[in-house]
């Protein structure tokens, strides 16, 4: 019991301290999936079809907003609780019951009290049975806020009044407290009163100076230790044997204390240790989805496509750590132009058999815009108007059920894409890296990036890590030997490159038990997403057909909703 009391007192202190941090500090923004901090999950569990949205706090401790839409199934009650990787199920609180907002919508606010890899466990109970869903959530502080000017002046005025009153009380206690009530005020009493007030002023000043020093030190510690700092990477391209080699190196010089990542403990996500997307700017007309090979703990290499044009590129690399913590690492690179013979181009092979790329038309750029891609309002599809594009094998990809030409920010959409063969008939799709398809969405200025899957905006590897940790009954997680863990992962990833496609997909399915989002139509893939900001977006949709990865590209405009 005494331990519980101490923990409760510690929690109250954290809440009080970080409440002050929120008031007295300024805004700072950083996210893992760039510009899209919320988590969206859509999956079938038992007889329930669920659409889950989690909006994590930007300051920790803080509350995460959890919303569950029950699209199918009879539900009596839904509960939710946060579970951290470090403490596991044994250190987690009990479930909070979500409030019924409408017939199929449930909501609650959950406190996340500490930074680190965490998850929200959703528990569903009803006539259709009991089920649980684990949603990986990164509990990280990404913001510091300004105090409103009016509030600051008001608090300053009240503080000054309290200081004057305190000094007056100290002076009075030094003089009036030792005299009778009816004794007249003498010069001696006045002098004692002034001396007392002087002592009080000095004491309060020293207290305020000490408090100010402590506050600045604590705020600085918050910014350096608690506030999320993305891992930096250094990228470069060199020409070797008539091919351009991309190198990605983790920059460990900027890591601080607990911000140091355990780079030996990366997990493969649908079979790859790193998913790297490179996009040429400003037109976003050249796109590649690469899977760099690990050369050593800090260095990864990939071969760029031979027909890829040179220029400046944005780099987004997704990685997952053993704790389930996910990061998107960003950089820019200058890719040199490369001229090679047709024979050399034909003989060149990618560094990973699942690498894919596409060179297409650029986004429209207005003459008055400088390095800022801009789409006209009537331009909704790359190339020609209309929600369809021709793929490299002659088939057609269609954007189905697009509600309007211009979409709204903050609104949850299900982005549906279907593929028809050259005769207009439905073309059955094959698994691509163990799932029906992938999508990458990028705002024209690069400020919003997301790697989407049919089950949502989260990592399957992170989900598997958290599910396994919850099943573990130990209160503390102990990492295995770093070298042995890294070598075993490398062997697993290499095996996936050599086995037949059917066996590879079987192995990937076993590694992603939560990936049970089967498409209802064999030629269609869909992705749940809410565009976080207004702007112009390009969407790359990747599917596999006849053993070939095909990429369809669509442009769309997103506006803020009208109030």
What confidence score (pLDDT) does residue 376 get?
A: 46
Provide, rounded to the nearest whole percent, the portion of the chain with pLDDT above 90: 42
Pick the more confident residue, 386 or 136: 136
Q: What average pLDDT does this structure show over 41-68?
A: 90
Q: Is the pLDDT of residue 400 over 70?
A: yes
Mean pLDDT for all residues in the chain: 82
pLDDT band, residue 450 (cuts 50/70/90): very high
7-11, 135-139, 239-243, 277-281: range with highest mean pLDDT: 277-281
Whether the pLDDT of residue 255 is over 60: the answer is no
Rounded CA gap, 65 and 84, in Å?
Answer: 17
User: So what's the pLDDT on residue 540?
Assistant: 96
- Cα gap 559→169, rounded to integer Å: 60
Q: Among residues 125, 128, 123, which one has the least CA distance to residue 73?
A: 128
Residue 23: its pLDDT value, please?
31
Nearest-CA neighbor of 558 among 35, 43, 52? 35
Q: How far separated are the first and last CA of the chain, in Å rounded?
A: 52
Average pLDDT over residues 520-549: 90
For residue 444, pLDDT over 60 is answered with yes
Residues 6 or more apart whose Cβ sits within 8 Å of residue 460: 269, 270, 453, 511, 512, 514, 515
Superfamily of domain 231-359+462-513: Macroglobulin (MG2) domain (2.60.40.1930)
Distance CA 487, CA 121 (A): 32
pLDDT the model gives residue 515? 63
What is the predicted pLDDT for the residue at 150?
77
Percent of the chain with pLDDT over 70: 84
Least confident of 21-25, 159-163, 250-254, 442-446: 21-25
- Asked whether 506 and 412 are in contact (CB, 8 A), the reply is no
Give the residue among 270, 267, 268 at the shortest CA–CA distance from 508: 270
Split at pLDDT 50, 70, 90, the class of 31 is: very low
Residues 6+ apart with CB under 8 A from 71: 49, 50, 51, 104
Residue 6 has pLDDT above 60, yes or no: no
User: Packing angle between helix 187-221 and helix 149-175, nearest 10 degrees?
Assistant: 140
Are residues 193 and 176 in contact, defined by beta-carbon separation less than 8 angstroms?
yes
CATH 2.60.40.10 describes domain 29-139: yes
Q: What SS3 state is found at 296?
A: coil
Q: Under 8 Å CB-to-CB from 64, ≥6 apart: which residues?
A: 54, 55, 56, 57, 82, 109, 110, 111, 112, 120, 137
* 413/539 Cα distance (integer angstroms): 14
Reported as a pLDDT band with limits 50, 70 and 90, residue 178 is low
Region 361-377: mean pLDDT is 56
121 to 66, 116, 117, 343: CA distances (angstroms): 11, 16, 13, 55
Least confident of 105-119, 210-224, 286-300, 445-459: 210-224
Q: What is the mean pLDDT of residues 147-173?
A: 79
Q: 371: exposed, middle or buried (C-beta count within 10 Å: 0-12, 13-18, 19+)?
A: exposed
pLDDT of res. 379: 39
Instruction: To the nearest 10°, report the CA torsion of 228, 66, 317, 510.
Output: 130
Q: What residues contact residue 524 under an 8 Å CB cut-off, 6+ apart?
A: 400, 416, 417, 418, 419, 429
Cα separation, 39 vs 136, whole angstroms: 8
The residue-averaged pLDDT of 214-233 equals 79
Number of H helices, E strands in the chain: 7, 28
Show the DSSP H helices in 54-146 as ranges: none
Q: What does pTM read for this prediction?
A: 0.81
Number of neighbours of residue 367 by Cβ within 10 angstroms: 6
For residues 552-561, one letter each, b for 16 or more C-beta atoms within 10 angstroms of the residue's C-beta and e for the rest, the string is bbbbbbbeee
Look up residue 135 and give its two tokens: 């949603």
In the chain, where the domains are located: 29-139, 149-226, 231-359+462-513, 365-454+517-563
357/279 Cα distance (integer angstroms): 10
What the block records as the tokens of 365 is 């750029």
Least confident range from 17-26, 393-402, 435-444, 551-560: namely 17-26
CA 221/CA 521 separation, integer angstroms: 53
Beta-bridge mates of residue 40:
53
CB-based burial label for 79 (10 Å; 0-12, 13-18, 19+): middle
pLDDT of residue 383: 44
For residues 142 and 495, the model is more confident at: 495
Residue 291 has pLDDT above 60, yes or no: yes
The whole-number pLDDT of residue 563 equals: 59
* Long-range contacts, 106-109 (Cβ 8 Å, 24+): 106/67, 106/68, 106/70, 106/75, 106/78, 107/65, 107/66, 107/67, 107/68, 108/66, 108/80, 109/63, 109/64, 109/65, 109/66
Residue 415 structure tokens: 């982005």
Asked if 29-139 and 365-454+517-563 have one fold, the answer is: yes
Residue 472 pLDDT more than 80? Answer: yes
Integer Cα distance of 251 and 159 in angstroms = 46
Cα 230 from Cα 243, distance rounded (Å): 31
Higher-confidence residue of 30 and 376: namely 376
Please identify which residue in the block is written with the tokens 């409103």: 148
Q: Does 78 score more than 50 pLDDT? A: yes
365-454+517-563 has which CATH code? 2.60.40.1930
Long-range contacts of 45-49 (CB under 8 A, 24+ apart): 45/124, 45/131, 45/132, 45/133, 46/73, 46/128, 46/129, 46/131, 47/72, 47/73, 47/128, 47/129, 48/72, 48/73, 48/75, 48/124, 48/126, 48/128, 48/131, 49/73
What's phi and psi for 485, nearest 5 deg?
-65, -45
């Amino acid at each position: 019991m005494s331990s519980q009391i101490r923990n409760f007192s510690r929690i109250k202190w954290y809440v009080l301290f970080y409440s002050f941090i929120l008031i007295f500090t300024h805004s700072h923004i950083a996210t893992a999936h760039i510009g899209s901090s919320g988590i969206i999950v859509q999956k079938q569990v038992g007889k329930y079809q669920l659409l889950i949205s989690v909006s994590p706090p930007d300051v920790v401790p803080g509350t995460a907003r959890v919303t569950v839409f029950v699209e199918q199934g009879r539900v009596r009650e839904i509960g939710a609780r946060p579970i951290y990787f470090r403490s596991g199920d044994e250190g987690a609180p009990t479930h909070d019951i979500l409030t019924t907002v409408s017939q199929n919508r449930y909501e609650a606010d959950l406190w996340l009290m500490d930074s680190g890899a965490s998850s929200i466990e959703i528990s569903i109970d009803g006539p259709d049975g009991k089920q649980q869903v684990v949603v990986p959530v990164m509990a990280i502080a990404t913001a510091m806020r300004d105090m409103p000017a009016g509030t600051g002046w008001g608090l300053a005025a009240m503080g000054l009044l309290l200081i004057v009153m305190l000094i007056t009380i100290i002076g009075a206690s030094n003089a009036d407290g030792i005299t009778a009530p009816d004794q007249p005020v003498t010069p001696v009493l006045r002098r004692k009163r002034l001396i007392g007030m002087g002592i009080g002023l000095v004491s309060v000043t020293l207290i305020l100076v000490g408090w100010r020093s402590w506050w600045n030190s604590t705020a600085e510690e918050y910014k350096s230790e608690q506030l999320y700092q993305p891992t930096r990477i250094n990228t470069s391209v060199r020409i070797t044997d008539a091919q351009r080699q991309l190198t990605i190196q983790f920059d460990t010089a900027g890591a601080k204390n607990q911000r140091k990542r355990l780079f030996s403990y990366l997990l493969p996500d649908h079979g790859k240790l790193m998913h790297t997307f490179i996009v040429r700017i400003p037109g976003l007309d050249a796109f590649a989805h690469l899977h760099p090979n690990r050369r050593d703990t800090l260095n990864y290499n990939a071969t760029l496509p031979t027909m890829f044009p040179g220029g400046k590129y944005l780099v987004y690399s997704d990685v997952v750590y053993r704790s389930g913590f996910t990061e998107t690492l960003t950089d820019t690179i200058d890719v040199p132009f490369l001229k090679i013979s047709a024979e050399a181009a034909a003989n060149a092979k990618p560094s990973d058999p699942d690498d894919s790329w596409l060179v297409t038309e650029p986004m429209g750029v207005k003459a008055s815009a400088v390095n800022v891609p801009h789409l006209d309002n009537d331009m909704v599809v790359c190339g020609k108007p209309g929600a369809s594009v021709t793929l490299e094998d002659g088939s057609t990809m269609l954007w189905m059920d697009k509600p309007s030409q211009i979409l709204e920010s903050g609104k949850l959409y299900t982005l549906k894409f279907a593929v028809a063969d050259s005769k207009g008939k439905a073309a059955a799709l094959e698994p691509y890296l163990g799932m029906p398809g992938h999508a990458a969405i990028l705002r024209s200025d690069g400020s919003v990036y997301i790697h989407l899957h049919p089950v949502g905006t989260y990592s399957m590897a992170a989900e598997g890590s958290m599910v396994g940790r919850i099943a573990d009954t130990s209160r503390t997680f102990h990492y295995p030997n770093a070298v042995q863990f890294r070598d075993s992962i490398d062997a697993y990833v290499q095996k996936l490159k050599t086995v037949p496609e059917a066996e590879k997909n079987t192995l990937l399915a076993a590694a992603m038990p939560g990936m049970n989002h089967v498409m209802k139509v064999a030629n269609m893939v869909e992705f749940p997403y809410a565009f976080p900001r207004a702007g112009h977006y390009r969407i790359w949709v990747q599917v596999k057909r006849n053993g070939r990865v095909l990429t369809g590209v669509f442009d769309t405009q997103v506006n803020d909703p009208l109030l």
